[in-house]
Structure 1
Amino acid sequence: MKNVSLGLALLTLFSCGSISQKNKGKKFFAELLQDVDKVQLKFFNHGDTLSETITDQSEINIYKELINGKRDPKQKIKCDSTGQILFFSKNDIILNAFFSSRASGSKYDKACVTYSLEPDNYGSALTVRSGQDIDDYYYKLRSTAIRMAQQ
C-alpha cells in the first residue's frame, strides 16, 4: 500500500510540474518583460537586414502585448520569419521573437509572431496595432534604403 501511495504522490508531483511548465501564461511573460527598455525590429529584406530601435515605452508596450504565452491550438497560423523582435533590458536580450507579415515579404496571408522558451514554442497572430506598426517601419526603412542606394 505504501508503494502505491508513493507512486501516486510522485505521479501527481510530476503531472503538476509539467502542467505548470506548459501553462506559462500572460503573468509569466509580463513579469519576464517588465524591465524591457528597448525593442529592436529587424527585417530580413532579401539578405539586406534593416533594423529599427524603439525606446519609447508606449511603443514598446505594443510589442510586449504580443508575448502572452498563447499558442494557436489548431496550428492554422503559419509563420515564415520575415523579421525578428529583440526585447532588451539594460542592453541584455531578454527574449527573441520572430514575425512575418505580408508587407515584409511573407508568403502567408496571416501576420504572426513566434517565440520560444525551451522546451515550449508559442505563436499567435499579430495584433492590429503591432501589425500596422511593423509594416510602417518596414516601408519607412525600405524606402530609405532604396533612396540611399540610388544616390
Structure 2
Amino acid sequence: MKNVSLGLALFTLVACSPVSQKNKGKKYFADLLKDVDKIQLKFFNHGDTLAESITDQTEIDIYKELITGKRDPKQKIKCDSTGEILFLSKKDVILHAWFSSRATGSKYDKACVTYSVEPESYGSALTVRSGQDIDDYYYKLRSTANRMAQH
C-alpha cells in the first residue's frame, strides 16, 4: 500500500510539473511584472539606437498588458525586431520584449511583440494603444535625432 501511495504521489508530481512550466499564463506574468517602475523603449534606427524611458505608471500598464503568456495560433505572428521593450524594477531588467511595427521599419504589416521565458517563447499583436505609443515615440525621437544631426 505504501508503494502504491508513493508511486501515485510521484506520478502526480511528474505529470503536473511540466504543465505548470509550459503554461505560464497571465497571472504568472502579472506577478513577474508587478514591481515594474520603468519601461525603456529602444528603437533600432538603422544602426543608430534611439531610446525613451517611461516612468508614468499609467503608460507602463499599457505595455504590461502586452505580456500575457498567450499565443494565438490563428494570428501566425511574424515579427522582425525593430525595437526592444525593457521592463525594469529598481534598475534591474525583469523582462526583455522585442517589437516591430511598419512605422519603425518592419517589413511585416502587423505590429507585434515577442518575448520569452525559457524555454517558451510568446508572441502577440500590439494593442492599438501600445502600437500608437510606440510609433509616436519613434517619430518624436527620430525627428529630434534628425534635427540634432543637421546642427
Q: Which residue of 2 aligns with 1:134?
A: 134
Aligned to 1:43: 43
Structure 1's unaligned 5+ residue stretches are none
TM-score, length of structure 2 as denominator length: 0.92
SS in 2 for 1:18: helix
Identity, % of aligned positions: 82
Q: Distance in 2 between matches of 1:75 and 1:62?
A: 21
User: In the TM superposition, what is the alpha-carbon distance from 1:71 to its structure 2 partner?
Assistant: 1.3
Structure 2 stretches lacking a partner, 5+ long:
none
SS in 1 for 2:77: coil
**Distance in 1 (alpha carbons) for counterparts of 2:86 and 2:103:** 20
Q: 2:8, 2:107 → 1: CA distance? A: 49
State TM-score, norm by structure 1. Answer: 0.92
Does residue 1:72 correspond to 2:63, yes or no? no
Number of equivalences: 151
Helix, strand or coil at the partner of 1:78: coil
> Residues of 1 paired with 2:75 and 2:2: CA distance?
43
> 1:90-101 to 2 correspondence within 5 Å?
90-101=90-101
Q: How does 1:4-19 map to 2 (within 5 A)?
A: 9-19=9-19
1:87-126 → structure 2 map (5 Å cutoff): 87-126=87-126
In the alignment, the residues of structure 2 paired with residue 75 and residue 59 of structure 1 have an alpha-carbon distance, to the nearest angstrom, of 26
Q: Which amino acid aligns with 1:56?
A: D
The root-mean-square deviation of aligned C-alpha atoms, in Å, is 1.8
Q: CA deviation at 1:3?
A: 7.5
Distance verdict in 2 for CA 1:3–1:75, change over 3 Å: farther
Q: Which amino acid aligns with 1:93?
A: V
